[in-house]
Amino acid sequence: GGSIGSEMCRQLCNFNPKLLLLIEQAENPLFYVERELRKQFPNVPTTAIICNITDKMRVEEIFEKYKPQVVIHAAAHKHVPLMELNPGEAIKNNVVGTQIVADAADNYGTTNFVMISTDKAVNPTSLMGSSKRIAEIYIQDLSRTSKTHFVTVRFGNVLGSDGSVVPIFKKQIAEGGPLTITHPQMKRYFMTIPEASQLVLQAATMGKGGEIFVLDMGEPVKIVDLARELITLSGLRPGEDIEMVFTGPRPGEKLFEELSIKGEDMQPTRHPKIG
C-alpha cells in the first residue's frame, strides 16, 4: 500500500507474473491497490493478504502456502522524528520484521529477495537509519549461507510519496503558509516514484547475493530551493505571498545524506544509474 510498493506492483504486472501476492498490514491501502490492479491488469492474478510482518507464524503460513519465487520487501517505518519517539516500533518493524520475512524466504526456497533500504542507513544518526542499517547487515549475513539471492537497494527521498516534503509543502502553500523548513543548508537526494521502482526491479535481476545496490539520484537538492520553486510554480512570491520559517533540525536528522559507508567497495554495474 506504500508509494514504492504500489508502483512496483504496477510495473510487475507488465511482466505477466503467474501470481502477484500483495501483502500489507493496513486493509484500506491494500483494498485500493488490489482494486486498481484488477482493473488495469485483468489478466494478472492477484491475491491480497493482510499480514503484519512481525507476526512470524502468519508470515511462515503465507510462505508455506505460496512459496514465492521473488520477494520485494518494501515494508518499513520511514519517518525519522516519529521513530525517535517510538524506538521499539522502529526496531520491531524494520529489524525484526525484516528478519522474519528474510528467514521465511530462506526456509521456503525463494529465488530472489530484494530489500528496499535508504540513504539514512549510511552512518546513521537516527533510530530509523540505524534500524535499516541493521536490516542491511542481517540480509548480507544471511546471503552468505543461503541459496536465495538476497540483495539490498539503497536510495534517498521519493518525490510525492506519502508524508514526503513535496505534498507537505503543497498543503502549506494551499493554506497560505508558512512553509516550515528545518535548516537553510538542509539537502536531500530525490527520485520519482516510477524511476525508483523501475531501478529497484532492474537491480533485482543483477544481484548474485549479498550486494547493496545504490541508485544514482543525481545531485542533492537544497530543501529551501525546493520550497522556493514550489511557491513560484504556484504563481506566488517566496517571502512575500508565502513566508518560509526555519524550525531547526529535528532529532536524528542530518543536514545532508550520504550514499555509501567508508570501506564499502563501490563498483559500477551494467546499468548507468545503479552502482
132 labelled catalytic? no
Cis ω before 81 (30° cut-off from 0): no
| Cβ atoms < 10 Å from Cβ of 46 | 17
Of the candidates 39, 56, 120, 208, the residue annotated as catalytic is 120
- Distance, in Å, from the CA atom of 150 to the CA atom of 117, rounded to the nearest integer, reads 13
- Distance, in Å, from the CA atom of 151 to the CA atom of 114, rounded to the nearest integer, reads 5
Q: Is beta strand 157-159 parallel, antiparallel or unpaired with respect to 190-192?
A: parallel
C-alpha grid cell for residue 186? Answer: 538542509
The identity of residue 265, as a single letter, is: D
Q: Which of 151, 152, 170, 150 is nearest to 160 (CA)?
A: 170
* Longest Cα–Cα distance in the chain: 60
C-alpha grid cell for residue 214? Answer: 545504490
Instruction: Please list the active-site residues.
Output: 120
